[in-house]
Structures are given as structure tokens and as C-alpha cells.
Amino acid sequence: MKVNAHDFAQEYTLLECIQCGRCTGGCPVSLKTALNIRSIIYQALVDDAIEVNGMDVLWDCTNCLTCTIRCPKDVHPSDVIIGLRGYIVGEGKGVPPRVRDALMSAFTRGNTLGFATEDRDKWTEGLGFEVKNVLEAGETDVLFYVGCTPAYDPRIQPVTRALATIMHRAGIDFGTLGVDEMCCGNEIRRIGESEGFESMVEEFHEMRKEFQARRMVTVSPHCYNAFRNEYGDLGFPVYHYTQFLVELLETGQLTFDKEVRKRVTYHDPCFLGKHNNIYDEPRQVLRSIPGLEFEDLDRSRERSVCCEGGGGRMWAEGTNIEERLAHQRVRDAIALGAEVLAVSCAFCLLTLEDAVKTLGLDEQIQVMDIMELVAQAT
């Protein structure tokens, strides 16, 4: 499929581009695949048309945002990728099969993982307390937005349960949308399915009319990003759970009574760090855990390296599956002497844990969500 390059360049303000190459220079993926965002932009500037069929490198991008942050001319190269993917998705040809399945499942079942809609609240089983259904109750202090992977993935469910337990013990009035909660659409938008994403936003706003809430807390940085930046006015602020934990620590609603004697480092998720500048709160929570020794990786905060789980990459294999950024990340953590590589994102947990297993390094390092470390200390 050929995209009119002139119109595309206008729509994405590419005429501002001075071809300095800082976008590609900062792109972690371009170090391992043929993805070159500067040259894609060049093509849009000098050619009549961009041929997107067969442009498999578009699916290598993790939407980590490094290119956009580094661009001196305020061009948004990461949006260029999303825009071009949109043409592929619109035509329906050349979408990687697992990406297609995730899209289909998000629209038919409300989750990207292919699970049954009615099982969305199964994670609450065995908690020992009831989780309020906000749609039935009509009001809540905290709307706990769980998200697809934290609701269904057996590896992430303990993280979700631990957060609910902390809120319950702290006496927080919280509840969820139960089985009516739907995918937030953060990755759906980044896959290029913008119309589908807009309909998700509209559906949420319809549901929003049915309850009162003072704030929203999300497990995932991806849900946090979508609701905070892409849903318009929700009528309440959105918190990632690490921000919420800091508040609970400051008010004394969360206290620790056990030591966690571990050397820990932290991997910044792109959708919390680069997309939303939340670097301090996760570190603040880790540093407050008694007995825990914290040290930052060399490449951290704004310089952090992506785990390759974002922007739809959980489902697209990419053009170079041998060399994974998650492998580098795990090796960096081990070189630092860490026993635990902490994360605050379900995708990071899954990709980094997979890297540890693939490399056979289970004896040397463990990947844990911050929430799991907090649970060990309470």
C-alpha cells in the first residue's frame, strides 16, 4: 500500500525535520534491527509515496519515546511509526498474527490476552475480603483500574492482589469496574488502530457517568499513560500505584514491619519514565523498605533502555528475536551486583523474567515487581 508522502509529511509536521539523526542515534532498537526512523522521515520528505507493505521494521518500534524526547525540532518520530502502522492495520494486510489476535480480542472480549470477559475479576478469588463493584455501588474514593495483564496473567495476578490487600489494610475506600472493565487501549492506539481506540475512550466515558470517584489508581504504566494523557477530562486525577504508595507512606497508612535484606536495582518502564516523567516515586518506595539496599543502574531514568514490551511489541516478535534489549538489561543488573531487578510494570516483569530464564541466570537474579517487595515487608 502506498501512502501519499506529501500529505503524510504535512500531517506529522515532518517539514520541520532537519535530518540531524538524533532520533535514530537514540533509538535502542536501531542498534539491533534495520529500523531507522530518520530515514523513514527522509523518505516521506523526498519521495512521492511511502510503500508500507513489507515495511516489517515498523513492528520493531516499542514506542519507548526516546526519539521524540531527543528531537530538537519537536517532530514526534514515534508518532510517525504509529501513523504508518495505521495504514497497515487499516488495510488489514501485513499485521503480525499475534498483534492481529490481540486487537481482535480487545474488541470482542475487552482484553488483549484472549481470556473470557466474565473471568476478568477472578484475580479477587481468595483475597479474604470483598472488592467493591463501583458500578453497583455508584461511588468510591479510589477507582482501582486493574488492566488486562494484571487481571488475567497468572504471573501478574499476585501483584494485583498485593496492591488490593495493601489498600484494604490501609482502610481505603476502593473498588473496580468488575467484569465491565475493558482494555485501556494504550497499545491498541500504538499498534495504529486509532478509530478502535477512540471508540474505547467513548465507551469508558459512557460508563464513567454511572459512578462517582475521587481518583483512579492503575497497576500498569500503560493504563496510567492512556487515562492520564489520552482520555480527555475524566473528572479525577490518575495515579500509578507507585505514586499512590508514596502517599500512603507519607500519611502513615502504609508501614513496614519486616526487613527485606536484598540488593535491589530498578528498571524504569518507558510508559512511566520517558512518557510521564515518573522516576522518583518508585525509587522512594524501594528506599523506604527496611533492610533493602538500593542502587541505580548506569543507564537509568531518562537514559534507561527499553525492555521491548511496549507499543504492541508484547505481541510482535520483531525482526531480530535473537538479540533482546531485555537480555542486556538483565546482564547490566547482574554486573551491578543486584540480587533483584525491580520493575513497576507488568510487561517489563514478563519480558525481563523471560530474559533471565532464556539466559539461564535464575540462580543469579530475580525479577520482582515493587509491589511484591512491599508485600514482603508488610
Binding flags for ligand SF4, 75-94, as an x/- string (CB under 6 A): x-xx--x-------------
Give kind and range of the element (H or E) at residue 118. none
Say if residues 70 and 23 touch (Cβ distance below 8 Å).
Answer: yes
Kindly indicate which of the ranges 26-34, 90-98, 248-256, 260-268 contains the residues binding ligand SF4, using the contact rule CB under 6 A: 26-34
Kindly indicate which of the ranges 21-29, 47-55, 125-133, 296-304 contains the residues binding ligand SF4, using the contact rule CB under 6 A: 21-29
Q: How many residues bind ligand SF4 (CB under 6 A)?
A: 27
Give the largest Cα separation in the chain, rounded. 65
In one-letter notation, the amino acid at residue 92 is G
Please choose, from the candidates 111, 131, 132, the residue with its C-alpha nearest in 3D space to the C-alpha of residue 120.
111
> Minimum Å distance from CB 98 to ligand SF4?
18
- Cell digits for 231? 482520555
Residues 55 and 95: their CA atoms lie apart, in Å, by: 10
> Minimum Å distance from CB 218 to ligand SF4?
21
Binding flags for ligand SF4, 314-353, as an x/- string (CB under 6 A): ----------------------------------------
- The reply on whether position 41 binds ligand SF4 by CB under 6 A is yes
Kindly indicate which of the ranges 57-65, 156-164, 166-174, 334-342 contains the residues binding ligand SF4, using the contact rule CB under 6 A: 57-65
Residues 307 and 326: their CA atoms lie apart, in Å, by: 5
Contacts of 294 (CB under 8 A, 6+ apart): 264, 265, 266, 283, 286, 287
Residues 102 and 86: their CA atoms lie apart, in Å, by: 15
Binding flags for ligand SF4, 59-78, as an x/- string (CB under 6 A): --xxxxxxx--xx-x-x-xx
- Residues forming contacts to ligand SF4 in the complex (CB under 6 A) are 17-23, 26-27, 29, 37-38, 41, 61-67, 70-71, 73, 75, 77-78, 81
